[in-house]
Amino acid sequence: MPLTNLKKLARQGGDTIVEVMIVLAVLGFAISIAYATANRSLLNARQAQENSQATEIVQSQFENLRTLTTASPSIFRLAPFCLNASSMPIVYSPVNCVYAPNPLYTLQISFSGTVSPSPNAGGTFTVVATWPDVEGQGNDTVRTSYRLYAP
């Protein structure tokens, strides 16, 4: 090989180790940002799904309450209570309860207002569903009130 070709090869050197390390650091930073963003999106989606499910459970409790408002109004004086419709007839429990179809949720129903002559003569039911936060930092809660009016 002629000497001029060797000089050209020496000047055409590859990337230095510092350049390679900088590229790897930038790629690592970009991948960690992408991972954190994807992980946060998954947590938000799961939290929204659990919130939606809790809202459905609370609405089902209101449906159960509508069927029981013709029953003895004295049961509504106890607070808190919950209704379990996983088996018919609807079971009334005078405590907080775990929702049988999905044990993630704890339910509590309270009643305030007039219970005589019927529980819907001016009373308001408040249903609270509580479940552990997806991040493990406390509990999430859905609280909804419903007023039943006398026919």
State the 10-residue block means of pLDDT for the chain, 151 residues long.
58 77 96 96 94 89 72 56 57 63 80 59 79 89 80 53
Residue with tokens 């989606």: 45
Run of H or E residues at 108: strand 106-112
86-122 burial, b for 16+ CB within 10 Å, e for fewer?
A: eeeebebeeeebebeeeeebbbbbebeeebeebbbee
Give residue 87's identity as a one-letter amino acid code. Answer: S
- Rounded-to-integer distance, Cα 62 and Cα 59, Å: 5
Length of the chain, in residues: 151
**What is the per-residue pLDDT for 88?**
46
Asked whether the bond before 94 is cis by omega within 30 degrees of 0, the reply is no
Classify residue 78 by burial, with Cβ atoms within 10 Å: 0-12, 13-18, 19+.
middle
Residue 124's nearest CA partner among 85, 71, 76 is 76
Q: Is 149 helix (H, G, I), strand (E, B) or coil?
A: coil
